[in-house]
Amino acid sequence: MLAKRIIPCLDIKDGQTVKGTNFVNLRQAGDPVELARAYSEQGADELVFLDITASFEGRKTFAELVKRIAANISIPFTVGGGINELSDVDRLLNAGADKISINSSAIRRPELIDEIAKNFGSQVCVLAVDAKQTEKGWWCYLNGGRVETDKELFTWTKEAQERGAGEILFTSMNHDGVKTGYANEALAEMSDNLSIPVIASGGAGAKEHFRDVFLQGKADAALAASVFHFGEIKIPDLKSYLCAQGISMRTV
């Protein structure tokens, strides 16, 4: 079994880390550079940085902030927000990102996935998906969860894999910030449907939720924010717990 990954996420708004519930009611969570450095030192496997209002506000992700974070960490670093063309990818990779996360721009123009994979390699391209479960199934949203689309979750992620995406970062909007566990049924279906890694996001509130997302949700990695930002769960403690549950982890 490949080692599972624990990934803290920095949601950035106006240069500060924020966290909300169901994509609203944002509160400040600290300085992103300091948090990033702490997570790297604590044994996080990767770090994700999402400029959460970049697509909505129609501006570019802060390359300078990316540069400052990259200089302070020694783990793989994924950056997303406002990435619409290859020059954006190039600029952020040069600033120190290892991977690029695209969401709204890929829904609007799916060919962007092909272009990133062809020019930079599939390993650079992470498709982020914000989806909500409704009475008619799971549907994808863009602009930070503000706009419903006609993309069905499992069809869209399969298409993204075929176009060259290297990973899927799936956030359940129903579970985001609620801390009652991940969307394990949907994650398991997605993992069974795809051959590329699936990163679970939305719902972490206890160590048991990480256990369940790996064993029941079949996720390759688990992303979380507030439980790490506010010190509710320490990454070394979490990894020790998961190892004791028989889950293969990279050692701290």
Question: Annotated active-site positions, please?
Answer: 11, 130
Rounded distance between C-alpha atoms, residue 135 and residue 140, angstroms: 14
Rounded distance between C-alpha atoms, residue 239 and residue 231, angstroms: 15
Q: Determine contact, residues 175/162, Cβ cutoff 8 Å.
A: no
Q: Which residues contact 112 (CB under 8 A, 6 or more apart)?
A: 84, 85, 102, 105, 106
Single out the residue of 159, 163, 212, 206 nearest to residue 187, CA to CA: 212
* Dihedral sign from CA coordinates of 229, 230, 231, 232: negative
3-state DSSP percent of the chain in helix, strand and coil, to 5: 40, 30, 35
